[in-house]
Amino acid sequence: MAKWVYLFKEGKAEMKNLLGGKGANLAEMTNLGLPIPQGFTVTTEACTDYYSSGKKITDEIQTQIFNALAELEKIQGKKFGDTEDPLLVSVRSGARASMPGMMDTILNLGLNDVAVEGFAKKTGNPRFAYDSYRRFIQMFSDVVMEMSKTFFENILGEIKEAKDAKYDTDLTADDLKEVIAKYKAIYKEKMGDDFPQEPKIQLMEAVKAVFRSWDNPRAIVYRRMNDIPGDWGTAVNVQAMVFGNMGNTSGTGVAFTRNPSTGSKGIYGEYLINAQGEDVVAGIRTPQPITKLEEDLPECFKEFMQIATKLENHYRDMQDMEFTIQEGKLYFLQTRNGKRTAPAALQIACDLVDEGKITAEEAVLRIEAKSLDQLLHPTFDPAALKAGEVIGSALPASPGAAAGKVYFTAEDAKAAGERGERVILVRLETSPEDIEGMHAAQGILTVRGGMTSHAAVVARGMGTACVSGCGDIKINEEAKVFELGGHKIVEEDYISLDGSTGKIYLGDIKTVEASVSGNFGRLMDWADQYRTLKVRTNADTPQDTANAVKLGAEGVGLCRTEHMFFDAERIPKIRKMILSDNVEAREAALNELIPFQKADFKGMYEVLEGKPMTVRYLDPPLHEFVPTDPEDIKALASDMGLTVEQVKSKCDELHEFNPMMGHRGCRLAVTYPEIAKMQTRAVMEAAIEVKAEKGYDIIPEIMIPLVGEKKELKYVKDIVIETAEAVKKEKGSDIEYHIGTMIEIPRAALLANEIAEEAEFFSFGTNDLTQMTFGFSRDDAGKFLDSYYKAKIYESDPFARLDQNGVGQLVKMAAEKGRATRPNLKVGICGEHGGDPSSVEFCHKIGLNYVSCSPFRVPIARLAAAQAALNNK
């Protein structure tokens, strides 16, 4: 018989996949002899079984749960539903990977009309007992039965008004009994049944609710954003209750062994005296710093610090701990490796190496590659900042500078983000329902909540700037307006936030790119020692190239030459070329473009100092360049000696039904060889001149896009060679050059063995390859991909994370076939996926030579490449 339930004392840290992170750590802490309220864990496999059994818990699993419960009753010396001293438990989710705020928790389970009496007797505090029962009914109805909270909030409000009570705490035990009666009545009215009095039924319903919550829409979104597979499932932890709200020798808190924002050493955290655990996380009252506990409860603080140190040394990482003090006795409710900002992660990793606790390899593996993105976030431009008016300040909850238009709901923020606006989301407090709006925002500002509030934790995870707990704000979320520092800010007004200082500014302050710190360089040096995959960048200007080189790029993997044509000075010339009727006119227009393109290439070659650069020839459909603005059309007509009507009709002729699958890529060079000639001249002249001037050993790499057939590549290659050789002759140069192709349509991958006969290198254009392989266009997929996520057909965006099963199969096939023909074929990837860690690992595993990504993702790719090498040794 399978084992579906483990007592805490039966587990250990290594059983994380089975028990979830929380369950495994509770087991580990139990084994370490720490003060843990005991309990048991229903395994992640039980969750998977629940789904595969048609959302049912089998009798076998239920029996094991009840057996574990009986054991827990023995351990605690209490009984479920007891009239003297009832056992109360919390029920919490706990997946393999931490999913903060995503899953629902139930406290005080086990209370019923009888047990509440026993609880009152045992605690000698009837008011506390009835308040706990009231809270339990409300929480159970909401979380387990999915009744609206407002029913209960209204009842409570009415009774408070009737009793003239200002706070909940003004209500007496008898008042609360009245509340409970009304709660039970509304429950019966809405649910059709009495509120369940049998604690075992309460428990089983709660366990099911946790299982169900694994698949709520918030959880699905979180998993998609964090690459967590949907089939992992969650464990359920059932733990004896302890109470932090039993008076002034009780309390509850959250603490980190090091500062999760900066990584600096020393305990860091917050607590509230006389409060339940959820109060700290929800940020409803603003808590005290943990160090103040030394004054309030010195013995507890001393014990807490000893255990915290023990935990960090045991796990060899910064710990994030939850604790409760019940009438002077300290309990640890959980510990885990703490989430942290990227600078903190670097600081902690470097410190742990210096402290001899971990190796450099471990340090490299500890940093989440994606999180480096945070280090590269913008700060305010110092000049612009001087003029900026500070209108308030609050907690620096997640670093980085952000400016944008104010929106008051997650939906509005999301919609604005989709329109391409920069967004600051302003909320009283955030909740998991806000996750997509938060994701769309450049910055988040909350009125309530501390450094460990939902907003702060989630924003740090996302690398989004966040200022939290700004109590000075007067907000009216319905009217979409807030007041601060004497200013009234309405929807779509601009504000700016500094998540590193906590300052809030009026207006749209210019931001500048981040520079990187010493720890960063140290970690990158380690990473570079381990990785075998080269990292290049996608850049189209000398400036971007310089930036990327600073961030460690070892060359340009993709220079998109069309980006050089959109400049105001240049676009009239490319338009003229496009609308020309014959080769001569096209050549004349192209000749005017050569100096610009050549100057760009020269600038890039200079910055690269001999590092390689792959130049991709003109790729987009030509109609992307033609004017739509009437003024532009008029200007073009007059420049070309045509009527406006003629220009319009020529532009219309370029219309395509499916431009993504139209006249673009090397198809342009096949129909208009003069374009390839012009580009070859620009590349070759630039390379020869910079080589001569600076002495760099430049070997141009010319990349023909969208090839699907060897003869097609050969045809364009012959054109390129003819011009290149002519330029060499003119300049008296013996420069080498390579001609290769992008593999971005399925046929090219299928026939890569033939194509490699002509191509000296392959670069996978995984954006287009993903489009063609899935048969959906990136621009249009938005209309249905949401339905696909909801239906759990796809779990992640294939344009962000390489589809290894499908698209990856083509990539692997093409690399193998290409190398079978040409063993020294250089193979890389230059789609968006080049900066995605899981995709980088895939590229490492199938033996590519390099990845190329946007400049700011270069460090991510370097680290991901190192991790891939270490993980696949």
830 is catalytic: yes
Q: Residue 754, annotated ligand binder? A: no
State which of residues 586, 667, 691, 833 lies at the interface with a copy of itself (CB under 8 A): 667
- Cα-based angle 723, 726, 728 (whole degrees, multiple of 5): 110
For the chain, the residue count is 873
Q: Give the burial string for 220-246 (b: 16+ CB within 10 Å, else e).
A: bbbbbbbebeeebbbbbbbbbbbbbbb
Token couple for 698: 């430049």
State which of residues 658, 732, 823, 824 lies at the interface with a copy of itself (CB under 8 A): 658
Q: Residue 560, annotated ligand binder? A: yes
Smallest distance from a copy of itself to CB 310, Å: 46
Residue 351 Cα distances to 257, 347, 519, 525, 863, angstroms: 13, 6, 9, 16, 18
Closest CA to 825 of 773, 720, 767, 754: 754
Q: How far apart are CA 857 and CA 866, in angstroms?
A: 14
* Reduced DSSP (H G I as helix, E B as strand, rest coil) percent helix, strand, coil of the chain, to 5: 50, 20, 30
Q: Which residues contact 787 (CB under 8 A, 6 or more apart)?
A: none
Smallest distance from a copy of itself to CB 54, Å: 12
Determine, following the binding rule CB under 8 A, whether residue 418 of this chain makes contact with a copy of itself. Answer: no
Determine, following the binding rule CB under 8 A, whether residue 578 of this chain makes contact with a copy of itself. Answer: no
Q: Which residues contact 52 (CB under 8 A, 6 or more apart)?
A: none
Site for a copy of itself in 677-716 (CB under 8 A): 706, 708-709, 711-712, 715
| Interface stretch with a copy of itself, choices 170-178, 625-633, 722-730, 788-796 (CB under 8 A) | 788-796
Q: Which amino acid would we find at residue 761?
A: F
* Catalytic residue selected from 47, 830, 843, 853: 830
Smallest distance from a copy of itself to CB 809, Å: 5
Q: How many CB atoms lie within 10 A of CB 386?
A: 9
> Which residue shows structure tokens 């989004």?
464
Determine, following the binding rule CB under 8 A, whether residue 259 of this chain makes contact with a copy of itself. Answer: no
DSSP letter at 376 equals G
Determine, following the binding rule CB under 8 A, whether residue 794 of this chain makes contact with a copy of itself. Answer: yes
Q: How far apart are CA 418 and CA 409, in angstroms?
A: 14
454 is catalytic: yes
State which of residues 12, 265, 510, 663 lies at the interface with a copy of itself (CB under 8 A): 663
Closest CB to a copy of itself among residues 35, 806: 806
State which of residues 572, 788, 821, 838 lies at the interface with a copy of itself (CB under 8 A): 788
Token couple for 386: 């001087």
Name the phi and psi angles at 857, rounded to 5: -95, 0
Smallest distance from a copy of itself to CB 747, Å: 4
State which of residues 11, 233, 499, 746 lies at the interface with a copy of itself (CB under 8 A): 746
Q: Residue 768, annotated ligand binder? A: yes
State which of residues 113, 492, 567, 656 lies at the interface with a copy of itself (CB under 8 A): 656
Smallest distance from a copy of itself to CB 619, Å: 12
Q: Residue 778, annotated ligand binder? A: no
Taking the CA atoms of the chain, what radius of gyration do you get in angstroms?
32
Smallest distance from a copy of itself to CB 801, Å: 15
DSSP letter at 377 equals -
Q: How far apart are CA 342 and CA 211, in angstroms?
A: 32
Closest CA to 744 of 619, 623, 851: 619
Closest CB to a copy of itself among residues 77, 775: 775
* Phi-psi label, residue 362: left if phi above 0, alpha if psi -120 to 50, beta otherwise: alpha
Closest CB to a copy of itself among residues 450, 746: 746
Smallest distance from a copy of itself to CB 217, Å: 16
H-run or E-run covering 59? helix 59-76
Q: How far apart are CA 695 and CA 743, in angstroms?
A: 33
Closest CB to a copy of itself among residues 157, 784: 784
State which of residues 384, 514, 635, 661 lies at the interface with a copy of itself (CB under 8 A): 661
Q: Alpha-carbon torsion 169, 170, 176, 182, what sign? A: negative
Is the distance from CB of 301 to CB of 422 less than 8 angstroms? no
Closest CB to a copy of itself among residues 392, 798: 798
Smallest distance from a copy of itself to CB 746, Å: 4
Smallest distance from a copy of itself to CB 616, Å: 16
| Interface stretch with a copy of itself, choices 528-536, 625-633, 804-812, 851-859 (CB under 8 A) | 804-812
Closest CB to a copy of itself among residues 375, 668: 668
Closest CB to a copy of itself among residues 635, 661: 661
Q: How far apart are CA 732 and CA 599, in angstroms?
A: 20
Determine, following the binding rule CB under 8 A, whether residue 551 of this chain makes contact with a copy of itself. Answer: no
Count of residues interacting with a copy of itself (CB under 8 A): 47
Instruction: Please report which residue ranges of 335-444 form alpha helices under DSSP H.
Output: 342-354, 360-366, 382-387, 410-418, 435-440
| Interface stretch with a copy of itself, choices 215-223, 590-598, 659-667, 728-736 (CB under 8 A) | 659-667
Closest CB to a copy of itself among residues 726, 750: 750
Q: How far apart are CA 114 and CA 8, in angstroms?
A: 28
Q: Residue 770, annotated ligand binder? A: no
Determine, following the binding rule CB under 8 A, whether residue 45 of this chain makes contact with a copy of itself. Answer: no
Dihedral angle computed from the Cα positions of residues 173, 178, 181 and 185, in that order, rounded to the nearest 10 degrees: -150
| Interface stretch with a copy of itself, choices 4-12, 112-120, 370-378, 801-809 (CB under 8 A) | 801-809
Determine, following the binding rule CB under 8 A, whether residue 232 of this chain makes contact with a copy of itself. Answer: no
Determine, following the binding rule CB under 8 A, whether residue 745 of this chain makes contact with a copy of itself. Answer: yes
Q: How far apart are CA 224 and CA 17, in angstroms?
A: 19
Smallest distance from a copy of itself to CB 807, Å: 7
Q: How far apart are CA 770 and CA 461, in angstroms?
A: 28
Smallest distance from a copy of itself to CB 744, Å: 8
Q: Give the burial string for 122-143 (b: 16+ CB within 10 Å, else e).
A: bbebbbbbbbbbbbbbbbbbbb
Token couple for 585: 């006119």
> Residues 756-775 vs a copy of itself: string with x where CB under 8 A?
------------x--xxxxx
Q: Residue 616, annotated ligand binder? A: yes
Q: Residue 96, annotated ligand binder? A: no
State which of residues 784, 820, 847, 872 lies at the interface with a copy of itself (CB under 8 A): 784
Closest CB to a copy of itself among residues 653, 697: 653
Determine, following the binding rule CB under 8 A, whether residue 624 of this chain makes contact with a copy of itself. Answer: no
Is the distance from CB of 465 to CB of 499 less than 8 angstroms? yes
Closest CB to a copy of itself among residues 414, 667: 667
Q: How do 850-853 and 826-829 pair as beta strands?
A: parallel
Token couple for 674: 């003069």
Closest CB to a copy of itself among residues 429, 718: 718
Determine, following the binding rule CB under 8 A, whether residue 625 of this chain makes contact with a copy of itself. Answer: no
Closest CB to a copy of itself among residues 88, 810: 810
Determine, following the binding rule CB under 8 A, whether residue 100 of this chain makes contact with a copy of itself. Answer: no
Smallest distance from a copy of itself to CB 717, Å: 12
* Catalytic residue selected from 377, 439, 454, 623: 454
Q: Which residues make up each annotated binding site?
A: 560, 616, 744, 765-768
- The residue ranges that bind a copy of itself (CB under 8 A) are 656-663, 667, 670-671, 706, 708-709, 711-712, 715, 744-747, 750-751, 768, 771-777, 779-780, 783-784, 787-788, 791-794, 803, 805-807, 809-810
Catalytic residue numbers read 454, 830
Specify binding-site residues for substrate. 560, 616, 744, 765-768
Q: What residue numbers does the annotated binding site for Mg(2+) cover?
A: 744, 768
